[in-house]
Chains A and B, each alone.
Chain A
Amino acid sequence: GESVGLHLPTLSVQEGDNSIINCAYSNSASDYFIWYKQESGKGPQFIIDIRSNMDKRQGQRVTVLLNKTVKHLSLQIAATQPGDSAVYFCAEICTGANSKLTFGKGITLSVRP
């Protein structure tokens, strides 16, 4: 399960700095959004989710922001650590009958020591 990060946009940050990973989603009807993290050789792992009736949600060291007007989602990671290096995917879904989760292409986060 290698990530496909070599051909994805890359964000390089210094260890200890805050990271902001951005995602533009496509479906204006989407009402539920999720961020996943994929480390090299592993499957994607759930980080945080947000519903369309919210514009911000905080987790441990992570915050997700949702701007429905411009269909934009962002993931903020505070005090970025080497273990945060991975490919990050945003995913969207329009909840309802037969709805399916659609993943974005992914962004590689590289943390410089």
Chain B
Amino acid sequence: DAGVIQSPRHEVTEMGQEVTLRCKPISGHDYLFWYRQTMMRGLELLIYFNNNVPIDDSGMPEDRFSAKMPNASFSTLKIQPSEPRDSAVYFCASSLDRGLVAGELFFGEGSRLTVL
């Protein structure tokens, strides 16, 4: 299995621009998670989906952030407009449905975003 695939690996953009991060979860996994990692806050859960349906988006910082999962094999995290404080590494993770919103999460390699 190729694991969780994220793109782009690195993105540098200017403040005000739209950013779209993409994720392909492991086939057969029912849960998909978006995390943000910064030096100040560590790993923060932004949103997670179960069977393509958003379950909890309480971690999404503000309305500038949105996430979609149009099908079981693809999800996007969009920031519009982007701000310098959005600079971070964004991770996508997926997991099997174990009846827990936990278990073993399989993380992608992350998308490093720098907003100038």
A residues lining the B interface (CB < 8 Å):
1-2, 4, 6-7, 32, 34, 36, 41-46, 49, 89, 91, 93, 95, 98-106
Contact = CB atoms under 8 A, between A and B. Distances in A.
Interface of B: 4, 9, 37-39, 42-43, 45, 48, 55-56, 59, 89, 91, 93, 100-112
Closest 9 CB pairs between A and B? A1-B110, A43-B107, A103-B43, A46-B104, A93-B102, A4-B39, A105-B42, A101-B102, A95-B100
A101 B107 contact: no
A38 to B, nearest CB: 8
Contacts of A45: 107
28 contacts: A1-B9, A1-B89, A1-B111, A4-B37, A4-B39, A4-B42, A7-B39, A32-B100, A34-B102, A42-B107, A42-B110, A43-B4, A43-B91, A43-B93, A43-B107, A43-B109, A44-B43, A44-B91, A46-B104, A46-B106, A49-B104, A89-B42, A91-B102, A93-B101, A95-B100, A101-B45, A101-B102, A105-B42
Contacts of B55: 98
A89 B43 contact: yes
Given A46-B104, A49-B104, 18 more contacts: A1-B111, A2-B89, A4-B42, A7-B39, A36-B105, A43-B93, A43-B107, A43-B108, A44-B91, A93-B100, A95-B100, A99-B100, A99-B102, A100-B56, A101-B105, A102-B45, A103-B42, A106-B42
